[in-house]
Amino acid sequence: MKMKSSMTQPTLLGSPDAERAILGACIFSSEALTLALENLKPDDFIDDRSRQIFSVMGEMYSAGKPVDYITLPDELASKGLLERLGGNSYFDELAEEITHPQNIQFYLDIVRDHAVRRKILNAGEQISRNAAIYEKSVPDILEKAEKMLFDAGQNNRNGEFRHSREIITPVFANIDMLRRSTGKRITGYPTGFSDLNHFTGGLQPGSLNIIAARPSMGKTAFALNIAQFGGGDSNAPVLVFSLEMPAEQLVQRMISAESGVDLSRLTRGLFDSVEFDAVRIAADTVAKRNIYINDSTQLSAMEFFGRCRRFKMRHPDLALIVVDYLQLMSSGEQAARTASRQQEVSDISRMMKATAREMNCPVIALSQLSRNAENRTDKKPQLADLRDSGAIEQDADVVMMMFREDYYSENENNDLKDSQADIRIAKNRNGSTGVFHLTFKREITRFYNFGEI
């Protein structure tokens, strides 16, 4: 194998020499080919010949065919590409330029970095063109800009394996910290509900937590209670996306839950001076909570990610994200026109999980259930009732199914204010499943630990 003695200075746009070095290493080493296919895509190559050859290598690899100095030209010839790409003489040149397969990572880094730079340059040009079109709205321009830059960044995340010895140190340090915490059971975000903390140890960083129920069961109140009364003493920032309800209504609910004043009377100003004092004190308490509300009625998955990322940059101690509710989001303007609703919800679900991991905090996403439960004698919800997509169940770390028996008899029991809510932990990736109960005071939209009141 003849080693290439030197390489020309790469340009900002790419390094054809590094690309040829990679191809040569792949021809002579199946291990080098595997590594290259894990780290690069054909579009990462700037040289058209290298791009097409690498694409055919990938097809051969996927089909279980050997890739070497003999089989690759034959495959290219069968596709009518060999002569167009320079014929056998090009492979002779390739053999003279290749580097040792052990050095391939160096060239992979060069090609991948140039590919990212090209994507960033192309994104900048496209962003400039979009910004100059006054018919386009600013939110749409920003969404597309964030998506292009996000996609460019994804190209730079390789799938390298890490030996367990590299991971064991921080994992063991966390185990030791828990051991020394004198029996502390809550390792994540404290929810304010003892039984839920028991099942989850608190909502864990990077986790996607689904609260699913039929309409009017109280899932918005439950999630808002976790945001308002959870978090322990930290008062760390909580970010709430409310796609269904204006921010003012959410704050009214929070004041009602804090003061104990009936929400319907609070919104109409029908309370006495004593209750007004309670409302005033509650408003002051709510104002001191670091709860931030975004009440956009239209929100795409990419906008959601972008806004969370910008918020995290300003508030690194972001503790919790709440989304009310998942099915009101879209996966994006273009995707909505081309994908089925099931695929769209799957994309949204995956983005929520990716956001939880990227922000390193729990995400609570509310989800509607299908009408299937309404047609059963036993109306308690099941995982199969999750609306629009099974991907929600797949992506979620915790799925909570909310059920209130009195919901189906409220017309006959209008005087019944307190009701029992059954919360079934139907999925818990890192813990046990089961059912716990809460008391729901509907007039103030607040849940309490069962037996607490």
> Is 335 a residue whose pLDDT tops 70?
no
CATH number at residue 106: 1.10.860.10
More confident residue, 1 or 308: 308
> Is 97 a residue whose pLDDT tops 90?
no
Which of 130-139, 191-200, 282-291 bottoms out in mean pLDDT, i.e. has the lowest? 130-139
The angle formed by the CA atoms of residues 415, 417 and 420, to the nearest 5 degrees, is: 125
Distance (Å, rounded) from C-alpha 202 to C-alpha 215? Answer: 26
- The per-residue pLDDT for 238 is 92
User: Is 170 a domain residue?
Assistant: no
To 10 degrees, the CA torsion angle through 367, 373, 379, 384?
-70
Here the tokens at position 133 are 């079109």
* Mean pLDDT in residue range 153-163: 54
Give the strands of the sheet with 446-449, arranged side by side.
291-294, 238-242, 320-324, 363-368, 208-213, 398-403, 418-428, 434-441, 446-449
User: Is 236 a domain residue?
Assistant: yes
> Is 99 a residue whose pLDDT tops 70?
no
What is the chain's mean pLDDT, rounded?
80
DSSP states along 42-106 = GGG--SHHHHHHHHHHHHHHHTT---STTHHHHHHHHTT-TTTTTHHHHHHHHHHHPPPGGGHHH
**154-157 own/partner pairs: CB under 8 Å, 24+ apart:** 155/41, 155/44, 155/112, 155/115, 155/116, 155/119, 156/112, 156/113, 156/116
User: Is 183 a domain residue?
Assistant: no
Q: Are 196 and 136 contained in the same domain?
A: no
Distance (Å, rounded) from C-alpha 93 to C-alpha 184? Answer: 66
> Is 246 a residue whose pLDDT tops 90?
no
Q: Are 263 and 370 contained in the same domain?
A: yes
* Mean pLDDT in residue range 335-341: 55
Residue type, 343: Q
- The per-residue pLDDT for 223 is 93
Q: Are 55 and 141 contained in the same domain?
A: yes
> Is 101 a residue whose pLDDT tops 70?
no
More confident residue, 175 or 322: 322
Here the tokens at position 236 are 């760390």
> Is 57 a residue whose pLDDT tops 90?
no
- The per-residue pLDDT for 102 is 67
Are 199 and 190 in contact, with CB atoms under 8 Å apart?
A: no
* Mean pLDDT in residue range 380-387: 75
Domain boundary among 161, 179, 203: 161
User: Is 176 a domain residue?
Assistant: no
- The per-residue pLDDT for 1 is 44
- Give yes or no: 75 in active site: no
Alpha carbon 379 to chain centroid distance?
31
The residue to which tokens 């909502």 are assigned: 203
- The per-residue pLDDT for 225 is 94
CA neighbor of 33 nearest in space, from 11, 76, 62: 62
CATH number at residue 360: 3.40.50.300
Distance (Å, rounded) from C-alpha 221 to C-alpha 225? Answer: 6
Distance (Å, rounded) from C-alpha 327 to C-alpha 305? Answer: 16
> Is 154 a residue whose pLDDT tops 70?
no
The pTM of this model reads: 0.65
- The per-residue pLDDT for 209 is 94
* Mean pLDDT in residue range 285-306: 84
Q: Residue 55, Cβ neighbours under 10 Å: how many?
A: 15
> Is 7 a residue whose pLDDT tops 50?
no
Catalytic residue of the set 97, 244, 275, 443: 244
Per-residue pLDDT tens for 392-447? Answer: 878 889 999 888 887 777 555 555 566 888 899 988 988 888 999 999 988 888 99
Q: Are 100 and 213 contained in the same domain?
A: no
**Total of domains in the chain:** 2
Tally of helices (H runs) and strands (E runs) in the chain: 17, 9
Which among 47-56, 174-183, 369-378 has the top mean pLDDT?
47-56
Domain containing 228 equals 188-449
Q: Are 250 and 294 contained in the same domain?
A: yes
Q: Are 253 and 373 contained in the same domain?
A: yes
Q: Are 295 and 401 contained in the same domain?
A: yes
- The per-residue pLDDT for 227 is 92
